[in-house]
Amino acid sequence: MIRVLIVEDSVTQREIFRRLLADDPELLVVAEARNGHEAIAQVQAHSPDVVLMDIHMPDMDGITATAEIMKLCPVPIVIASATLKKRDVDLAMKAYDAGAVSVIEKPEGAVLLHLKKMAPELRRELIAAAKAQVRRRNGSGGVGSARDDQPARQPVSHRSFAIRKVSLIGICASTGGPPVLQKIFSEIPKPFPIPILLVQHISRGFEDGFARWLTVSTGQSVNIAAGGQRITAGIWIAPSGRHITVSSPSRLELPRGNESEIHCPSGNPLFESLAKHLRGQAAGIQLTGMGDDGAQGLLSLKQAGGTTIIQSEASCMIWGMPKAAKQLGAAVHELDPEEIAKALTQAAQAAIANRPS
């Protein structure tokens, strides 16, 4: 059973969260807190498996509390953002810098009439976060030792390889993806000369804030894609409710998702479209996340002659998605984020060198 700590100053909101979680046999609310100070004390007292944390609270807000918890007693933290207003979404994105695992929109108001509809998404987010391998952070925001109840993993050795010329790169990430993407994009050339199409599983409505956060924190150009647009250099993510794919080597297509799909955007349509239209001219990268999204599509890309990379087990917050791709035989290379950045830098240098003079 996954032990949950709810941190929320509103009595009504805490009741909503309790009701949303009550029917899941995997989840047990073990404690509640009204502000960040109480949250730290309750984490130390109850050692929960996951924390559901509000942002706006008196005395100590959720971002400050997240940073303190990650320094003192690391535990996976899911941030609940009150609104989708720009200011609140930007604050929610800053929670990733503090060490949060994921961000969701807080259910409010008439949500009590729609518990059955909203509960599965919240439960999935908490269950995924609880499986994350979080690590202690030092005062400067860097990562220190592993969570006390998880064994420290050894860094993987460097595996250099000669990446072939590519004209398009697809990346798929889920839980734990934002800080890894931040690291990779910060270490590759700016501006990056090869277009990158990015699938990051994130709650609907947070795409704009996520793009702004990546742009500011990495120095790269990260934007929301438009259907039918010509593919140009930069990092492109799909708008809410759309997959991001290519309809030709030079055009984007954003097909609508359907209600039966767990993830939209999804890595499978992206990688499959790269396999169909670009074959050996494309590269696919599968990063940390729970489940198997992207694995089948990455296999299609490998079979079409594309370069395929998965994030190394040692560096993943959750190794589910890369593991699924590896088990299918979809991965050619298994690299840590630093090595992925080096491979992308090499590809960028080759692209620049091959430009017509």
Please answer whether residues 199 and 238 qualify as being in contact, where contact means their C-beta atoms are separated by less than 8 angstroms.
yes
**CB 170, CB 274: distance < 8 Å:** yes
Please name which of 131, 106, 133 lies closest in space to residue 121, comparing C-alpha atoms.
Answer: 106
User: Rounded to the nearest 5°, which phi and psi values hold at 196?
Assistant: -120, 125
Residue 10 is a catalytic residue = no
DSSP 172-195: EE-TTHHHHHHHHHHHS-SS-SS-
Rounded distance between C-alpha atoms, residue 175 and residue 298, angstroms: 18
Give Cα separations from 54 to 6, 112, 292 (angstroms): 8, 18, 29
* Beta strand segments in the chain, E: 2-7, 27-33, 50-54, 77-81, 102-105, 135-137, 143-146, 168-173, 196-200, 222-224, 235-237, 245-248, 251-253, 282-286, 307-311, 333-335
Any catalytic annotation for residue 201?
Answer: yes
Does residue 293 carry a catalytic annotation? yes
Q: Which of 49, 293, 312, 333 is catalytic?
A: 293
Question: Residues for the chain: how many in total?
Answer: 357
Long-range CB contact pairs, 14-20, < 8 A, 24+: 16/107, 16/108, 16/111, 16/112, 17/52, 17/107, 17/122, 19/112, 19/115, 20/107, 20/115, 20/118, 20/119, 20/122, 20/123
Pairing of strands 50-54, 77-81: parallel
Q: How far is CA 215 from CA 221, 306, 317, in A?
A: 6, 28, 22
Q: Which of 9, 49, 54, 174 is catalytic?
A: 174
Q: What's the maximum distance between 2 C-alpha atoms anywhere in the chain?
A: 65
Identify residue 354 by its one-letter amino acid code.
N
Among residues 201, 243, 277, 333, the one annotated as catalytic is: 201
> Which residues are designated catalytic?
174, 201, 293
